[in-house]
Structure 1
Amino acid sequence: MEITQAVRAMPWIAVMTTPFFLAEVLGYSKLYDTLSDEPFPYYNWLQFPMFLLFTDFCIYFIHRALHSPLLYKSLHKPHHKWIMPTPYASVAFHPVDGFLQSLPYHLFPFIFPLQKFAYLALFLFVQIWTVFIHDGEYVANGTILNGAACHTMHHLYFNYNYGQYTTLWDRLGGSYRKPNEELFRRDSKMGQKEWERQVAEMENRVKDAEGEDDRQYVSSKAVKVGSKKDN
């Protein structure tokens, strides 16, 4: 399902972002060619943290807005079909949702100077990072980076950890939730007791965010019985 959602969304997201790329090609952005064209000394280094800070700030507020009742069900809910996401969820969005969350990346070179190769490198980094936070591999339990564990908290409990790279704006906005310690214990991470506890809390969050859950959950046993009847 994640792959299907992603494949359906990507062409439409590409169509919506094409005007930005066209404007860049036509010279309307502040992209510059060579390192020697930097607007002032050391800007070639400064542009990287500027890009990350700007996009992290913007995406936090866009993402949080997408969780408002007005927008959630119509735009952002498709991405939250997957309580425990996989890397494919990184591009499994409603097309408008995906476009809105990518908007800060495209706006940056129209507001701030950006070297062209840095532009490509940053876009590659963004895609890798987006896959990384959806891959379910909880490498670090830090409190600064919004890694896979933090983003899993977002998919489990909805109203926390909206940030893209850091927890800064979540902390300032009162929406930070530290990842559960159990996620980092391999002996209990996939245990039934831990899953039951997380599912119970998640279902309460679902009701708060969406009302009654309209998704259907079919057990593997039921699927087997159904397939036998079909045969």
Structure 2
Amino acid sequence: MFWAVAISALAMSAIVALRYWASSGFFAWVTERRMPGRYGALKPQIRREMGWSLVSALVYGVPAGIVAWGWEERGWTRIYEDIGAYPLWYLPVSLVIYLFLHDTWFYWTHRAMHDPRLFRRMHAVHHASRPPTAWAAMSFHPSEALTGAIVIPVLVFLVPIHIAVLGLVLAIMTLMGVTNHMGWEMFPRRLVHSRLGGWLITASHHQRHHEHYLCNYGLYFRFWDRLCGTDKGLSDKLTEQTG
């Protein structure tokens, strides 16, 4: 059993690493096409981001691999494959539940890591990216990576979710993690400044966090930032670039 679990963990780590290279590499390429030379002076920083991200991929892969093995071999989780196991309306509801709970966990742990004592030990690695690039989405100290790696593995034991919806959660997590760090706003101004955009986190919102640190802690939604008074709006630099 040990070796089966270990192989599953290594396989998931490899998948996370490949997902990182594919997603970050694609958006880095898009950035170069849209803004030639933007990352030109940041090559040493990008190499550091890549190194830390590969360590993070290993950290993320271990709990994911254990859960994947437990689901396939022991039926431990509440992941289901039969589309008829729950009403169809539950599919989008489960998506929102997972995103909201993930966002809640991220907000509070992220905010805690800006305490000076934890910042130096855990979060300084991520903020060493000045400015962040598309390669920085997983550039974490291992202790910070662990706080992010356990969220979805814990939720699949608690909240039922169809395997396809789980895949969508992971895709959204990857997409927003990368695009919110690439240093420019890919979404049009009419969305970013719309009523809907006022509740969603895009690069313009997260960039302000990297500029001012003690604000804009959320991952997907601005709900907790607004409720707790930590929402300081959008980066002036990035909103000027929206279409």
Q: CA deviation at 1:16?
A: 4.5
Give 2:141's aligned residue: 94
Q: CA deviation at 1:19?
A: 2.7
**Does the C-alpha gap of structure 1 residues 23 and 96 become closer, same or farther in structure 2, counting only changes over 3 Å?**
farther
Give 1:176's aligned residue: 231
**Does the C-alpha gap of structure 1 residues 102 and 9 become closer, same or farther in structure 2, counting only changes over 3 Å?**
closer
Q: Normalising by structure 2, what TM-score?
A: 0.70
CA distance in 2, matches of 1:182, 1:73: 27
The answer on whether the counterparts of 1:3 and 1:92 sit within 8 Å (CA) in structure 2 is: yes
Ranges in structure 2 where 5+ consecutive residues have no aligned partner: 1-47
Q: CA deviation at 1:111?
A: 1.0
CA distance in 2, matches of 1:107, 1:29: 9
**Does the C-alpha gap of structure 1 residues 118 and 183 become closer, same or farther in structure 2, counting only changes over 3 Å?**
closer
Q: CA deviation at 1:69?
A: 2.5
User: Is 1:150 matched with 2:205?
Assistant: yes
How many residues align? The count is 185
Aligned positions of 1:65-214 closer than 5 A? 65-138=112-185, 139=187, 140-141=192-193, 142-186=197-241
User: Is 1:59 matched with 2:101?
Assistant: no
**Does the C-alpha gap of structure 1 residues 71 and 19 become closer, same or farther in structure 2, counting only changes over 3 Å?**
farther
How much identity, in percent, do the aligned residues show? 24
Ranges in structure 1 where 5+ consecutive residues have no aligned partner: 187-231
Amino acid in structure 1 at the alignment position of 2:153: H
Q: Normalising by structure 1, what TM-score?
A: 0.74
CA distance in 2, matches of 1:12, 1:105: 13
CA distance in 1, matches of 2:104, 2:54: 28
**Does the C-alpha gap of structure 1 residues 185 and 43 become closer, same or farther in structure 2, counting only changes over 3 Å?**
closer
CA distance in 2, matches of 1:16, 1:118: 19
CA distance in 2, matches of 1:66, 1:17: 23
